[in-house]
């Protein structure tokens, strides 16, 4: 899974290479703070696979000039958000968690999800997670892990490509038609395993299937040996606002068992969590 995550991160790097262009495109807006946008882009350049980064690496990943990256890092270091123990390679400091905590603390779903996830994990003896759609990726906002040894290493704040994950496909299937079409036009599909869907036509067909049946199964598309199943968490108006999933080792649990044993537990949990979403 580490290799899959690295490939996903590299793929995201390509899309983030347009960060500087995205910022520059706002230059005509007098209310747009370029320096703030650059600082946020620098923070987002760090990832699980790239915990230590030099000024040059951040500049290459974001497209922001080295001098501007240096000023952003200097400011962030003064505020306690980053540090460079060796004077060259920077890393995020624990204080950065305060930025995400404000969101998690104000989101009923993220706050209330943990007991529900623990119930799902205890009932199935498998890991369970909740994620939202953030751009073309899923963002984990809650997770309950079991003691089983798995190669996947995920936690709150982790990101994965929406196109090759069960939660991602559930979330994508809930997009309005125009947004779905725009996503399919821009997405860069990466083949993580021989099972990965790598054509827009096949992905579009799979998303239509997910929308129709109300759940998604990923069978070793992101990592060989890993299967997952996800269902949507709906708002009171019926909008897909998040997804909940369970991941299993393919050698232990078949797709048929996931649909007969795991799916009902997930759907019950999703219904309970939907009561918390306006």
pLDDT digits (tens, 9 = 90+) for 179-188: 999 999 999 9
Q: Give the pLDDT score at 87.
A: 85
C-alpha pair distances (Å), 51 with each of 43, 88, 123: 11, 13, 35
Q: Give the pLDDT score at 206.
A: 97
Q: If DSSP codes are grouped into helix, strand and coil, which group holds residue 177?
A: helix
E strands, 49-171, in order: 82-83, 91-92, 127-134, 137-144, 159-161
Q: Give the pLDDT score at 13.
A: 44
Of 35, 24, 32, 27, the C-alpha closest to 63 is: 24
Q: What is the pTM of this model?
A: 0.74
pLDDT in tens, 128-155: 999 999 999 999 988 998 755 445 567 8
CB count in 10 Å sphere of residue 186: 9
Q: Give the pLDDT score at 15.
A: 44
Q: Give the pLDDT score at 45.
A: 92
What residues of the chain score a pLDDT lower than 70?
Answer: 1-18, 101-107, 147-153, 278
Q: Give the pLDDT score at 130.
A: 95
């Amino acid at each position: 899974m580490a290799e899959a995550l690295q490939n996903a991160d590299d793929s995201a790097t390509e899309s983030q290479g347009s960060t500087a262009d995205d910022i520059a495109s706002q230059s005509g807006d007098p209310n747009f703070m370029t320096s703030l946008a650059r600082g946020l882009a620098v923070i987002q350049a760090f990832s699980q696979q790239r915990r230590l980064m030099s000024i040059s690496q951040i500049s290459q990943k974001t497209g922001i000039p080295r001098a501007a990256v240096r000023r952003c890092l200097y400011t962030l270091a003064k505020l306690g958000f980053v540090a460079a123990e060796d004077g060259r390679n920077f890393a995020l400091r624990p204080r950065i968690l305060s930025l995400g905590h404000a969101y998690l603390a104000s989101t009923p779903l993220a706050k209330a999800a943990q007991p529900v996830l623990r119930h799902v994990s205890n009932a199935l003896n498998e890991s369970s997670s909740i994620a939202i759609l953030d751009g073309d990726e899923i963002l984990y906002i809650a997770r309950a892990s079991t003691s089983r040894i798995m190669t996947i290493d995920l936690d709150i704040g982790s990101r994965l490509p929406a196109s090759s994950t069960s939660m991602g496909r559930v979330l994508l299937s809930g997009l309005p038609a125009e947004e779905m079409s725009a996503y399919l036009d821009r997405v860069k599909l990466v083949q993580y395993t021989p099972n990965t869907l790598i054509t827009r036509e096949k992905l579009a067909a799979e998303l239509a299937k997910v929308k129709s049946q109300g759940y998604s199964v990923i069978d070793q598309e992101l990592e060989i040996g890993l299967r997952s199943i996800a269902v949507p968490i709906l708002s009171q108006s019926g909008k897909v606002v998040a997804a909940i999933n369970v991941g299993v080792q393919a050698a232990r649990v078949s797709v048929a068992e996931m649909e007969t044993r795991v799916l009902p537990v997930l759907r019950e949990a999703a219904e309970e969590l939907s009561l918390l979403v306006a």
